[in-house]
Structure 1
Amino acid sequence: MDNLTLKNNILLVEGLKVTPQSSFPVFILLLIVYVFIIISNTALVILISTEKSMHDPMHFLFCNLPVNDILGTTVILPRLLQDILTDESERYITYVDCVVQAYFVHIFVAASHYVLMLSLTIRLSRCRYKIENPFCDNASLFKLSCEEGVAVNNVFGLTYTVVLFTFSILSVLITYVKIATVCIKSKSKALNSKAMKTCSSHIAVYLIMLVSGSTFIFLHRFPLYTESRKLASIMFHIVPPGLNPLVYGLQTKEIRQKFVRFWCRKKGN
């Protein structure tokens, strides 16, 4: 089987390890989450695109975010849902499809970085055929190699990850220090309340994304925590996309008012 899969560029995706009894409930849960993410983010894009009053830089950012969320979850969840109902020994994917999925998994994070990372990975020869993850990503791809050259990928990946997370944390910290300074100087209770409400929701989503993202990246280097890494990787791709429409959509006054107005008009018809 190993020689056949390597010769034909066929890989075996490890997927989630769920018991036969729990596979269907897990499938239903993830399907509901996926449908919610697609509907809520698509509705946000349509609302912003069709309302001329929202055609400004701020709402363009709000429109770009759900597009990325739709892309990120669609690359992951349909394949994951299929694998849950498929026997572990039959979860095959071609090497080319795996590379394409790995690229799109990361494209909304930092496209140029992952083009380089995938280029470093593709150059390596392969002696294994099993993707030790619920989906294909760069770390899973370079684990297919037995070459010493894989150390280059590890060093580059970890260094970039540390720099990226450090820059992200510092940027958020500086932003919130400035917001806190304005709130302290301001005597408007309404302004301070709005800032606290928006910022607390944003911090919650950011922390979930930061913790789950850093966890599954670093746990790729520790095989003993495979299941924890899988859970963190899935959370990273479904929790923020599910919460973003609520945090950035319904908590934005203009979007909330337009949505309520649109909903009432539909019910009236």
Structure 2
Amino acid sequence: MDNISNISSTLTLQGFDLPPDTVIPAFLFATLAYMIILFCNISLLSIIILNKSLHQPMYVILLNLPINDLIGSTALFPQVIKELLWDTKTIQFSTCVTQAFFVHVYITGAVNILSAMAYDRYVAICKPMNYNTIMSNAHLMKLISLVWLSNVLMIAVLFILLLRLPRCRSHLTHTYCDNPSLLQLVCANTTINNIYGLMIVAVSQVVTVGMMAFTYIQILIACFRNKSSDTRSKALQTCATHLIVFLLFECLGLFTIISYRLTYVSPHLRKFSGVAGLIMSPTLNPIIYGLKTKEIRTKALKFLKEHVYPV
């Protein structure tokens, strides 16, 4: 254990430990993945912002998803690309804390935004006559503010509790920075941090999973009561896609959290699950919610015809 007073501000990451002949392909893959994520999410943002016909509650809530995906991917990819390109496994403590903060903001924000989207679909399908009244601009702003403020405040407290503790180690057992790996650098009692961290996970799971379960049960009941097969099929298809994205993200996130507390879990599997959660969702979300949504797909094709491939 290093001396606390002489502890370096530079941390070492475990890294990916790739064979030399796979470093360049990994670098190209990471760079390409980041470029695709940036392009897809910025395109989705631009389409929603620039088209007034899409300034509806459903799309305003959806707008937060690419914003959150850009936060998460930008927190991860530049560091990964730098590590692969220059074979460096070091990072400044302040940079590490910043990366970890935004990674956690992204993770918590993703499930909160998906829950808000589920609530919007519940109101649209189960209470269509009152949709405009319930999802008014004032209510919509309150919903979005609640999602982001609760997210940022919870994560801010998590890192305030972390930064109050002294460090006596400088080696991270992960490929990127997050709260559990930073806690392993501490040489003091972390009981309060562990309790608060588990409390965040528990509260988030109860609220988001509870919200998803309630809304989808109500939506299923409403769909099977609806006599129009076309309406029922469209609603079920939209909700099924939404639910698959949510469950995929939940499984990867929960496995990563649990893997820190299970010593027999392979470090390579932990690395994969942690990075996969930060790659898959930002890549799939704009494709699923962009191309699968008729209104957005129509606006995107119209833009391409008018500006990219004019006749």
Is TM (by shorter chain) over 0.5?
yes
Name the counterpart of 1:220: 260
Name the counterpart of 1:191: 231
Name the counterpart of 2:130: none
Change (3 A) 1:261 1:128: same
Change (3 A) 1:159 1:126: same
Name the counterpart of 2:104: 106
Amino acid at match of 1:267: Y
Are positions 1:151 and 2:188 aligned together?
no
Name the counterpart of 1:85: 85
Question: What are the superposed Cα offsets for residues 131-152 of structure 1, whole Å, 9 maximum, x if unpaired?
Answer: 11111111111110121x2122
Cα deviation for residue 83 of structure 1 reads 1.1
Question: What are the superposed Cα offsets for residues 203-262 of structure 1, whole Å, 9 maximum, x if unpaired?
Answer: 221111001101111111234322212111111111111111122222222111111111
Are positions 1:203 and 2:243 aligned together?
yes
Contact (CA 8 Å) 2:4, 2:167: kept in 1 or not? no
The range that moved more, 74-83 or 105-114, is 105-114
Contact (CA 8 Å) 1:73, 1:237: kept in 2 or not? yes
Amino acid at match of 2:211: S
Distance (Å, rounded) in 2 between the aligned partners of 1:124 and 1:3: 14
Contact (CA 8 Å) 2:169, 2:185: kept in 1 or not? yes
Name the counterpart of 1:61: 61
Distance (Å, rounded) in 2 between the aligned partners of 1:27 and 1:201: 31
Counting only pairs closer than 5 Å after superposition, residues 1-269 of structure 1 correspond to structure 2 as: 7-87=7-87, 90-108=88-106, 109=108, 110-147=151-188, 149-225=189-265, 226-265=267-306, 266-268=308-310
Q: How much identity, in percent, do the aligned residues show? A: 33
Cα deviation for residue 200 of structure 1 reads 2.1
Amino acid at match of 2:261: R
Aligned-partner SS, 1:268: coil
Number of residues paired by the alignment?
A: 266
Contact (CA 8 Å) 1:6, 1:128: kept in 2 or not? no
Q: TM-score, normalised by structure 1?
A: 0.92
Distance (Å, rounded) in 1 between the aligned partners of 2:26 and 2:205: 31
Distance (Å, rounded) in 1 between the aligned partners of 2:191 and 2:93: 21
Contact (CA 8 Å) 2:12, 2:90: kept in 1 or not? yes
Cα deviation for residue 6 of structure 1 reads 5.2
Question: What are the superposed Cα offsets for residues 192-211 of structure 1, whole Å, 9 maximum, x if unpaired?
Answer: 22122212221221111001
Contact (CA 8 Å) 1:13, 1:132: kept in 2 or not? yes
Contact (CA 8 Å) 1:12, 1:131: kept in 2 or not? yes
Distance (Å, rounded) in 2 between the aligned partners of 1:153 and 1:93: 23
Amino acid at match of 2:68: N
Gaps of 5+ in 2: 109-150
Distance (Å, rounded) in 2 between the aligned partners of 1:182 and 1:257: 28
Aligned-partner SS, 2:227: coil
Cα deviation for residue 80 of structure 1 reads 0.8
